[in-house]
Amino acid sequence: MIAWQKPPTAEILAVFDRPYEGAVAAARTCYSGNGIVSADQVSGVGLPAEKAAQRQLQRDRIAASTFAAGHHTTLQHGHVSFGLDDVSRQVVWSLLHSHPFHNSEQVSQRYVEVRPDRVAVPLLPEPAQSVYRACVQQQMTAYQQLIQLLEPVAAAEYFKVFKARAKQPQRWLSAIHKRAQEVARYVLPLATHTYLVHTVSVLTLLRYRLICQEPDAPSEARALVDAMCEALYARDPLLRQLPVQPLEREDLPVWGQLEPSQARAAAEVFDARQGDYTSLLIDRFASNPQRVAESVRQVLGQTPAQLSDDAAIGLALDPAQNPLLGQALQTGAHQKLGRALHAAHYCFAKRLSHAADSQDQRHRTTPGARPTVQALRLDAPDYVTPPLVTLAGGEALQVYRLAMEQSWYAIQQLQTLGIDPEFQAYLLPNAVQVRYTQTTDLQGLRHKHAMRLCLNAQEEIWQASMQEAAQILAVEPQIGQFLLPPCAIRHRAGQRPYCPEGDRFCGVPIWQLPREQWVRTL
């Protein structure tokens, strides 16, 4: 296994008490005629030594048998909050955020400037080590250059939106700097370190342990998961009895099917269908509106004669009729009417930068089948150029393009030196294009659009959400008319203030404008 200059670290911030015995207690409660079984009861606390030993043997038999039988919900009662540091953006994207069963709060590259030393560096043989380090240095230098070059353009666009603020420009320098920084981060490598609070159940952690050597970052993922597990085992040694060890690569089916040489052809096929769309609607239930309407009527016990399709859809989706949709605390999946939205489904082909997709995947109810490293273009530059860079043009555009060329040139050097694609990929910039298919039901999509149609959302995800909403409106106007940004939802629901962002207000009263005027300049 490749060593790291700074290996990932895992510190337990909070953990449920005695998760192993808690899981057994939960299992025994299912069959208890005397109420809830406690962890003390399964371990024999307070009993004579002989009886306590018998209880513990019973505890371990139950733990082993339920685990072997796949009855794993008991392990979800125990949760662990980790403080993770010195982990790459790549391993977060590939492992920690690639599934719905987690919660994370991660330092933002949009709002926090990246230090040049905050990079995952695998200890490669020379001369590959020098190639890797030189590329990272070039990327970090380009990042700083772009921040400076983009600030004047960002300032000009900012004061076009907030005209009154131009009278006190010094007051808004931090906000402008963050907008330039947000765009400059596209040149940063996937190796860039991050830190985060990551909370999972014991069950999810064991699943990490089993498949941590899947692509895309198996060496780093193995080191990270080992650190997380050892930290937990130190708190509850009984968990070591659960027989989970990392599968070897030959036991993971994806490794036997990787064909890096086909990445270019696969990308060309995808792009031929995709055209200019960031997100293309490629499939849906043809009867989505009828499915939703019928589900609403079933909730209410009504017939089509009593409640038409349009009226039923309005009850579930129109904030004017369902003001719960305007609440800051989202209850869509908990509402009786909200659950009717699970009846409609959509499928999108998406093409985003790695930076944007790293945020898009946090919408856990809109899952995607994301590519392995070998399915990304390691052979030639393949990247997104943010509109602000294009608008700036000149030196900023030159710096950006040169950074892309240098990144892929270094990757080619590592390939020539025989370095595994796993480590080549760490030098890919945040701008690298990720192509994948995303599926969602209407409940997940509505919530996502309520967050990402906001003009403060990450620009690419905002663009994708705009395209998705427009395509659905074109084929399902009964549904599409209610896919709205948060301020428009609150306006229809009668919730004040209409913009929930406070001093982060984008400056555009979207709720007053027709959809064709929802235009973003910054």
Q: What is the pLDDT of residues 86-136, one digit of tens each?
A: 999 999 999 999 999 999 999 999 889 999 999 999 999 999 999 999 999
pLDDT of residue 466 exceeding 80: yes
User: What CA dihedral angle connects 454, 459, 463 and 464, to 10 degrees?
Assistant: -100
Question: How many other C-beta atoms can be found within 10 angstroms of the C-beta atom of residue 275?
Answer: 7
Confidence band, pLDDT 50/70/90 cuts, at residue 303: very high
Q: What is the predicted pLDDT for the residue at 1?
A: 67
pLDDT tens-digit profile of 134-151? 999 999 999 999 999 999
* The pLDDT of residue 350 is above 70: yes
pLDDT, tens only, 35-68: 999 999 999 999 999 999 999 999 999 999 999 9
Residue 330, token pair as written in the block: 């989202």
- Please check the confidence at residue 521 and state whether its pLDDT lies above 80: no
Taking the C-alpha atoms of residue 178 and residue 147, their distance in angstroms, rounded to an integer, is 9
pLDDT (tens digit, 9 = 90+) per residue, 179-223? Answer: 999 999 999 999 999 999 999 999 999 999 999 999 999 999 999
Counting other chains too, the contacts that 292-298 makes at CB distance below 8 Å and 24 or more residues apart are 292/316, 292/317, 292/340, 292/341, 292/343, 292/344, 292/442, 292/479, 294/343, 295/339, 295/340, 295/341, 295/342, 295/343, 296/337, 296/340, 298/340
Q: What is the DSSP letter of 239?
A: G
Looking at residue 178, its pLDDT comes to 94
pTM attached to this predicted model: 0.95
> pLDDT, tens digit, for every residue of 222-250?
999 999 999 999 999 999 999 999 999 99
- What pLDDT score was predicted for residue 515? 92
pLDDT score recorded for residue 213: 95
Q: Which band of pLDDT confidence, cut at 50, 70 and 90, is reported for residue 397?
A: very high
